Amino acid sequence: MRGALGPGRLRARGLRVRIVLGFAGVTLLVSVVLVATTFFLARNYLLDQREASLTRQAFADANVLNSRLATAGTEVGDVLGELVPSGGADVVVHADGSWYSSSLDVGARDVPTALSDIVAGGEAATVPIETAEGPALMVGVPLRAAGVEFYEAAPLTELRQVLRTLGAVLAAGAAAATAAGAAFGVWASRRTIQPLEQVAAAATRIAGGELTTRLPATDDPDLVAIVAGFNSMVDALAARIDRDARFVGDVSHELRSPLTTLVTSVEVLAARRDELSPRGQQALTMVEGELGRFRRTLDDLLQLARIDGDGALDHAAPVSMSELVREVLAHTGRPDVRFDAAPDADTTVRGDKTSLERAVRNLLDNADRHAGGSRAVHVERRDDTVVVTVDDEGPGVETEDRERIFERFARGPRAARRSLPGAGLGLAIVAETAARHGGAAWCSDAPGGGARFSLSLPGMPR
């Protein structure tokens, strides 16, 4: 059936729903068992009591009929007409091969053959029957002295109505118990899910850079170990990140001194380039290129160390991305790049202007180094998000490489084959900066060909 819930659909349900369904299912099962047990026990008890009462009544009426037939000259039909059974019962008598009845509704046709055979054998018996007015219990009593078979049929309609009412009450009780179980399941699921939601919220804040986030202390003995373990893990993670960032920063700072010395020495040599031999000039050009690459890599490492060390934004301020991109294009000398931007008020975000400027500059530099330059830059507002896109002139990025190129020290296959400059840190800084500001960075196909690199940031309310 299309509407049936298969195992996959059940597994797809949330933990809260499964807890509620579990409580409701268990309550329903227990209620059904109790209701069924109670109903059948009560039904059997009432039937036994009713059968015993009707049997006593039938024997009493049979004794009355027997005593009257003991009078000489008394006819069965006359005595039967004077007999008034209690409880609205009907009497059928078999005497001398003839059948007599106290009512037109019940007669010889209603006496089961099995019952008549037993009574004819000299024993009393009871059999449930169905009459035109509903269910009834027929009691057969042999009157040996009078040579008569006495049958009395008492209606069970009232008992059936009682059982129906009892069943309805028990079913309503089961439904109420199931609803109460489901309500308790809702309450229990909230109590159960709440610690998990706290852990998830804390983990989300930690992933966003708030390394000071910790789970609050709890008195629940079942959660003490979890809270302590989670907080210890975060402490170790924060210490490790701080140690790594400090190590990268220290190494980068230590490298600045020899790098400065090398740059100064190369500049002195470059001032006397004409005095060098052709091979010396060629070597000097290679050294200048590698020193430039080394310096850019060192600057990128220092920037990443600052991002790792700062964590969450502490000194954020409103920044217009349209104005920022316009300034970057003007300062870097890119007058030929087509620039489309929404009004400054619509593209305002809250963040660190220096970091955002570095991220935009990295996107433009990446297009220059690997894709023949930037073709167009767009800044637009999409709902509550400000998106900066850079379209390049290159062949595009393969789908399987679009996530990897934002990793640290990751370079595209074309850049690796062509030995293009760069250490693979520029786009990593873009991704880290976007994540630090609560946004994201990604790569896709540009409408006019090439690759489109996008940087999205949460926009401030307009």
Q: Please name which of 252, 260, 357, 247 lies closest in space to residue 301, comparing C-alpha atoms.
A: 252
Give bridge partners of residue 320 from the DSSP assignment. 348
Dist. CA 358–CA 300, nearest whole Å:
10
* 3-class DSSP assignment, residue 272: coil
Tokens 């489109």, residue located: 452
Dist CA 249 CA 131 (whole Å): 100
Give the separation between CA 244 and CA 240, rounded to whole angstroms. 6
Q: Where are the beta strands (DSSP E) in 34-117?
A: 90-95, 98-101
Strand partners, 212: none
Using the Cα atoms of residue 195, residue 197, residue 200 and residue 203 in order, give the sign of their dihedral.
negative
Enumerate long-range contacts of 2-11, CB under 8 Å, 24 or more apart.
none
- Supply φ then ψ for residue 93, to 5 degrees: -125, 135
Q: Quick one: pLDDT at residue 156?
A: 85
Residue with tokens 């990751």: 410
What letter does residue 440 receive in the DSSP assignment? E
DSSP states along 292-330: HHHHHHHHHHHHHHHHHHH-S-SS-EEEEHHHHHHHHHH
pLDDT at 390: 93
Calpha distance 247→265 (Å, rounded): 28
- Among 242, 248, 234, residue whose Cα is nearest residue 309: 242
For position 3, what pLDDT does the model report? 44
Show contacts of 102-107: CB within 8 Å, 24+ apart. Answer: 105/131, 105/132, 105/133, 106/131, 106/136, 106/153
8 Å CB contact between 337 and 374: yes
Cβ of 29: how many Cβ atoms within 10 Å? Answer: 12
* CA distances, 175 to each of 179, 180, 186, 217, 416 (Å): 6, 9, 17, 40, 70
Per-residue pLDDT of the chain (462 residues; tens, 9 = 90+): 344 444 444 444 677 788 888 888 898 899 999 999 999 999 889 888 888 888 888 888 888 888 877 775 567 777 777 677 776 788 888 887 888 887 777 878 888 888 888 888 888 888 888 877 778 888 888 887 777 888 888 888 888 888 889 999 999 998 999 899 889 888 888 887 888 888 888 888 887 667 788 888 888 787 888 888 888 988 888 888 778 777 766 776 777 777 788 878 888 888 888 888 888 888 888 888 777 777 777 777 777 766 666 655 666 789 999 999 999 999 988 878 899 988 888 899 998 898 899 899 999 988 888 888 889 999 999 989 999 999 998 888 888 888 888 887 776 655 544 445 556 788 888 998 898 888 999 999 998 888 999 999 999 887
CB 309 within 8 A of CB 338: no
pLDDT at residue 8, rounded to an integer: 46
Phi and psi angles of residue 444, each rounded to the nearest 5 degrees, phi first: -150, 180
Chain centroid to CA 143:
76
Token pair 């699921």: residue: 189
